[in-house]
Structure 1
């Protein structure tokens, strides 16, 4: 709208050029209305806007030419002394605009005064001479630009220096290929490395700002304000000045959209302010010790991504030109290059450490086949990848209806082996849908955001949540849960990396469970579920080895089912198998957890009683014998009466070696059977009887 109005004004000014026209003719009334409208609009924007834009300057120059033309027309045309105001306007514009734009203004003057010259009498010698006046105006921008040629040459040299030697005289950059030790950094060491990279980046930024001050630009200070996307704030990242102190408040932050710099950042365009003291608000980064008069600010953009503001200020009014803006645009591009380079360095360092940690975790997971050990390694090693406050690892029970806590960090370790039903909550969603859940800003515990199901005794509150399922062939084996009390503690990158880790963990769990199953089959009796003969021999030998260091008595019970062949002949072999299972179950129930029950062979069982002398062992044998005798087995509606004979031997009272102890218990068992069965015999008593007979 304003451009169209200016164009109409130029046409009307040329059409109303004849002095014979009445002052209040219709054309002049329209001209005056448009001029007042544009002048009032420009004045309003000039006083209200936080900065002077190039468009506003162009509009002011055009209105100045129109006003000079109106005065010239009303004071004698080409004979008016006000005609010499044209060179003044053009001279001021030449310092503000480029040569090409200055020539556009010359063309405007030629257009406005051409009609007046054509309307003058042919015999007027002054009018004939004034034909060359607009052409003579061309000398003004030429002279200004020629006088500033050294200034422009300095700009060109600076731009070349920024383009070709941007890293010269700066701190050397780290080369990841030449620093393989980064792969072995801990998380704390990585933070130190990141701080060092940040200092080097600031050194490079200050180097670029120093190049600006080293030019002939009338800059007193150069400041780079970095943009914080999360808080939508600007803060001083680097600053250089011609004098010390800088007069910059390094702690102050500038909200986006507030103040001059906040407005420029929101608009994301280059803005020059010619007279800062006239502004209603001072520069936001000033501490009050310096009073700048001019400001030039350009946005630092990585394509469409806003990175911050590059600002220069000066103690002089109208200190910066269009060429200065072009120089700052070039420096802004170099700042983007520096920021991108260092971010890639930090990202490379982080990824190198993370994937190195994944490799170390994979090696550690393969070091042992113990399931609990592998889960502890997972919880501990994950701390190197993600900064969590609490970690839980759950295993899913068959049927996917319950979870069991197998490893925990940052919470009461007493919950290990605690299991609970999956009725609701986020854990139930993870298991049911086999999907990763990430919440960076989880609200306080609510029904729809409840982590643990109803009835679970584990209760935690967190702000960041990351839960990953452990999947093998679409089978949910477990869940790894990370919690943090900070918001935005976990990122999508953490989710990606930990998903890779959980794939390794799921395979490791399956491998450990398969190994445990094979090992269990190798040491247990397939029929009764208690230890087999080989495992009993190993455990007995382990006790003799341990007893050599820490002497403590222990005993064994050799148990034989009386008339077992008769049971098989009378009721069948399935009945005999049922009897063996019942006896094994009863023995496992009656002894302590630290004791060992094993099937010795056929219808014989053996019990290893730890920290038990011969008399205590005989009392346990009698309890077992009487319990079995008083509990007949129901087999297909028939009662099978069962009795057992037991031989008892102890270490060190009866023997000092494994084979010798077993032989003593076997002799005591043979004595019980020979004496009529259904009784318990101590090897110590058997030896005493033999001594008396001898």
Structure 2
């Protein structure tokens, strides 16, 4: 019944989604019959009904596409409807030979430009088929040259429109991406220029807003300082030049000027009067500059100024910038003015230093906030899955990466397991198991030290997990040890496509995360072991009595709520006391372990197996009636009967008696269910043992 209902729903959904296309094809069938050809019949209600149907369909689909957005299916339907309408108009005016037939080419080009992906290709293919069918069947045109030319024009118009539109979309997207990338790169260049961050020490971090704000603050401080100098000293131009990352070049950082001839740069560091101040790291002053002098690099052509001064901005003996000022009047810069310019360089350096400290404090604050949130989240995560989920989410906040994983080390078998992976090709590595080897993961566990040392990854020379599993496309890698209570328990791995993505700051923060993660994973493992000890029988590995009773209450409430069956199989070994007396208690323990193993092998995935006490076991079966439970109990009895144990006193075979009771047939509560199963068990014993009985 369920399969039929699902099939009916699928048919219903298909009919709802395809009725528009089916109606469009039905309207096209009229054109194949030459419905609109002149002289075929007098104009009447049939034409009006066709046109009204087409307008209603096209208007309905266009309105839905406008309101809900056009997916490929709706775009294809709109294209088909438009082509059918245009062909109807063309046929009404005389068909292929009419003056309106080029409208079909325009319609194909229009629809192909708006349809995306397979929908655009499908519309062009439909236009070819429809044009050929109408000409051949509806208008009885058999000239292969005419049919071929029409098909060629339709295909060319559709294909060219489709390709040009896609190319324009790609161009616009590419242009937008380049503009955004250029804007971000400019912010990063300015941060490096002002030394707000150490050059090339970090990858692309989610801190562009912080850096952009800091750059704006620095620029504002510089502008106010230059404006004050410009007004105080009656300058023509006051400009601050800074060396770029490229060798032997300067760029304008900020300026205040009355001139329209300032060049954009960059400029050579060794050019003219500015170059002299850069090379010697000393103040350079010029006066009575002759007209046409070209030694001032930041002007496009010959300078019109008559006096000039360049003051180097030095930080611990290193050139950070050059402060330049000039006048158009022939008045040299005096000692007091020169001293004022030198003192202004200290304000420039202070602006850099203040924002550098601010950025470092903000970055440190964010990292500390992230680690604090992680610590809180890890303290509430009691399972290893929850701990690893929090750890990978935190790593994503700390540093941008393309792949991350957490591995677990199992010292008993000297094995490593990839417990959780995220990012590119995560499914290829999830659950991967491998022994100790010379991989980076294994070496980090052995040495308890992160690798690679510089965070650079070469897949041709380095192995992350095994030689058969390759992490392709990554240039940066960091494998951090997870150590708890002086014992390695696994690794935290992050990888990125960008080179030099994990600098010192990122690594240190990730190491702090790894320490917290290791402790949380060790605690989760201890909690899991305690839970297993509290709910598991230590000898057989089955659930214990307490856990069984708790599960019975929960399963019975669920069965009662949803109207399902719940069966209980109670098992007791026959003459088990004789086994202990004859073969010893060690053999008896082996028998109990074997019985637990048989029950776990035979049971279904949803069944629960428990040792209730002594030699008595129980199997709780969800959604199982009396007949199904009896069949399972019979399989258990047969498996036990076939089992043989070799002891020092000879071969040992055991049998069992089993009782079956079912909710709600035999009991309405968990306690009653166990009582009824116990009664059925003793009925099996009274009948001669080694058999299954029901209530």
State if a TM-score over 0.5 links the two structures.
yes
Could you tell me how far 1:355 is from its partner in structure 2?
Answer: 0.8
Residue 674 of structure 2: which of 643, 662, 669 is its match?
662
Q: Distance in 2 between matches of 1:277 and 1:675?
A: 127
* Secondary structure in 1 matching 2:380: coil
d(CA) in 1 for partners of 2:228, 2:676:
97
Which of 532, 535, 553 in structure 2 is aligned with 1:523? 535
Which residue of the other structure, out of 188, 194, 202, is the alignment partner of 2:219? Answer: 202
Pick one of 376, 391, 396 that aligns with 2:389.
376
User: Alignment length, in residue pairs?
Assistant: 489
Which of 625, 646, 666 is the matching residue for 2:658? 646
**How far off is 1:561 after superposition?**
1.0
Aligned pairs for 1:486-497 within 5 A: 486-497=498-509
Give the greater-gyration-radius structure (CA).
1
Distance 1:663 1:311, change over 3 A: farther
The aligned runs of 1:83-482 (5 Å cut-off) are: 191-216=208-233, 219-227=235-243, 234-243=250-259, 247-249=262-264, 252-253=265-266, 265=278, 268-272=281-285, 283=297, 296-315=309-328, 320=333, 324-399=337-412, 401-414=414-427, 415-437=429-451, 442=456, 444-447=458-461, 449-455=462-468, 457=469, 459-482=471-494
Question: Where does residue 547 of structure 1 map in the other structure?
Answer: 559
Q: Which residue of 1 aligns with 2:11?
A: none
Which SS does the other structure have where 1:350 is aligned?
helix
Distance 1:530 1:400, change over 3 A: closer
Distance 1:329 1:583, change over 3 A: same
When residues 574 and 238 of structure 1 are mapped into structure 2, their CA distance, relative to the original with a 3 A threshold, is same
Compute the TM-score of the two structures, normalised by the length of structure 1: 0.64
Shift of 1:426: 2.0
The change in CA–CA distance for 1:466 and 1:320 in structure 2 (over 3 A counts) is farther
Judged with a 3 Å threshold, the aligned counterparts in structure 2 of structure 1 residues 395 and 229 are, in CA distance, closer, same or farther, namely farther
The separation in 1 between residues aligned to 2:290 and 2:534, in whole angstroms, is 87
Aligned to 2:651, the other structure's residue is in SS state strand
By how many angstroms is 1:479 displaced? 0.8
The Cα of 1:373 is off from its aligned counterpart by: 0.6
CA shift for structure 1 position 443? 5.2
**Separation in 2, partners of 1:231, 1:669:** 92
Shift of 1:641: 0.9
Equivalences for 1:6-21 in 2 at 5 Å? none
Closer, same or farther: CA 427–232 of 1 in aligned 2, 3 Å: farther
SS of residue in 2 equivalent to 1:437: coil
Distance 1:426 1:261 in 2: 52
Q: Mean Cα displacement is larger for which, 425-434 or 257-266?
A: 257-266
Q: CA deviation at 1:316?
A: 6.3
Deviations 1:503-524 (A, max 9, x none): 2222222222112111111111
Q: 1:562 aligns with which of 560, 574, 581?
A: 574
Structure 2 contact 479–491 (Cα < 8 Å) conserved: yes
- Whole-Å separation in 2 of the counterparts to 1:232 and 1:525: 77
Task: Indicate how the Cα distance of structure 1 residues 591 and 326 shifts in structure 2: closer, same or farther if over 3 A, else same.
Answer: same
**What is the distance in 2 between the residues matched to 1:658 and 1:520?**
23
- Report if the CA contact (8 A) 1:234-1:256 is conserved: yes
614-623 or 292-301: bigger deviation: 292-301
Relative to structure 1, the CA distance from residue 327 to residue 567 in structure 2 (aligned partners, 3 Å threshold; closer, same or farther) is same
Q: 1:562 to 1:482 in 2, by over 3 A?
A: same
User: 1:187-235 CA deviation, whole Å, 9 max, x = no partner?
Assistant: 86x6434422321221111011112211235x32222234455988644
Paired residues of 1:405 and 1:416 also in contact (CA < 8 A): yes
Relative to structure 1, is the Cα distance of residues 287 and 537 closer, same or farther in structure 2, using a 3 angstrom cutoff? Answer: farther
2:351, 2:615 → 1: CA distance? 82
Aligned to 1:25: none
Counterpart position of 2:514: 502
Partner of 2:640: 628
User: SS at 2:586's partner residue?
Assistant: helix
1:212 counterpart SS class: helix
> Does the 8 A contact of 1:247 with 1:290 survive in 2?
no
Structure 2, unaligned stretches of length 5 or more? 1-204
Instruction: Determine the C-alpha separation between the residues in 2 that align with 1:296 and 1:398.
Output: 72
Q: Post-superposition shift, 1:555? A: 2.1
1:318, distance to aligned residue in structure 2 (A): 8.7
The 1-side partners of 2:335 and 2:406 are apart by 63
Shift of 1:576: 0.3
Aligned in 2, Cα 1:329/1:677: closer, same or farther, shift over 3 Å?
A: same
1:583 corresponds, among 589, 595, 599, to: 595
Q: Pick from 588, 598, 615: which aligns with 1:603? A: 615
Deviations 1:598-648 (A, max 9, x none): 111100111122333322222121111111111211223621111111112
Gaps of at least 5 residues in structure 1 are: 1-186, 684-694
What TM-score do the two structures reach when normalised by structure 2? Answer: 0.64
Between 331-340 and 633-642, the greater mean CA deviation after superposition: 633-642
CA distance in 2, matches of 1:640, 1:347: 75
Change (3 A) 1:355 1:259: farther
Aligned counterparts of 1:583 and 1:289: Cα–Cα separation in 2: 101
CA distance in 2: counterparts of 1:547 and 1:289, whole angstroms: 95
Maintained 8 Å contact 1:276/1:294: no
| CA pair 408-535 structure 1, distance change in 2 beyond 3 A | same
- Matches of 1:266 and 1:488, distance apart in 2: 32
Structure-2 residue corresponding to 1:38: none
